[in-house]
Amino acid sequence: MRKLMMILGLSLLSIMTWAQSKNTSVEVKDYREVDGKIILEMVVNGVMADFVLDLAGHNAILPEYVEKLNIDANVKGDFRYDTFQYKRVPVEKSVNIETISFGNSVFGNGVAAFVLKDEPYLRKLGVAGIVGGTLFRSVVLTIDSRRKKITMSNPYRPAYMKLDHRSNIEVVTGSGIVCPVELDGVSYSLLLDTWSDGMIVLNSADFAGFSGKDGNGMKKSVGYAGTDVAASSKFAEKCRFVKSDFTDVAVVENESLPRSVLGNGILKQGLVSIDYGKQKVYFQPFDLAEVKDEVTGGNEVKVEAGKLNPITREYFLEHVYDYRKSKEFVFKGDKPVVIDFWATWCGPCMRLIPELEKMAEKYKDQVIFLKVNADKEKELCGMFNVVALPTLFFIPVGGKPIIDVGATPEKYVEIIENQLLKK
């Protein structure tokens, strides 16, 4: 009977895992790694720029990028604190980012960011600033350092992450993630820090109380300035994180840290998934399970004349304008295009759609009509600073978009006749 119950339990677990994977939206994005740091390509106020992912930091901009990223320096960001919480980082002030996105899964309006005073190491990395964990709280964030990929899933972790390889976490101020870690049998609550090099980096108080084997000392970078300082080190005979054990782990002291951290060295050991909503962290060695991306929402787009056709970011890049290759808008089409940015919750959008469908039929052989779901294609919205719906693009052959906000079909007929078709 006990054996039967175990079989039934395992079968139920398999069914639940399969069901979860089928009801999970998944987006996978590549990232670059420079000097051990994770570099993400973000879209800020319609401008593409590289940022370092620091889950123990906050959103922050180098001063020379405030203007470049179309940020109003006079609008203060809505932070509940006036400096970094877990690092000693000099800041000038805070500003408000109107729109910021990473792919289609992570998007923010009115996002607060610090303006950094002077961080030459960030300039050496060639980035515009730092992005913290706040933007990722709406997704399960999975980091795969072997393949250099970030996976954003919702509402569940990717199916290849084992359900029993997890631990509770605490989400603290600024969306920092505090994880339980054992060093030689003693429990520590460590902040997951994708910036700090090494596996375990303790502040002075925790380091003084840690009774590991003495090390030979090592160089350690402090803060975003990247200044190398001599640091004391010890070794833990055994380090346990989630269900994995590591031996002879270097434990380094960093006097500048307000809080001890689990550094980016853990990312070299396996896959990490962070579920902010359920307050869980998953960790497993790279080879524990086959990693197979089950990306959703990437169905092939078919555009028909006389129809109001839904399109994706990929279609837009291939057939309309590839903003990754040119800052100047270069229209790829050989027929004028009307693009409707809409959403199901937008009343004017829903009333406008039947009118656009009639126009698509009327101008069947002259103009191509497309629509973009703003809830699904957040990168496109961020790239073109679409913050109000409906927003329509009228694109003439060889020209730049004529942009109009609102639901005024009569006006749209005039634009099509006089500017797209030039009758």
List the catalytic residues: 346, 349
Which two structure tokens, joined as six digits, stand for 377? 């294609």
Cα(140)–Cα(151) distance, integer angstroms: 8
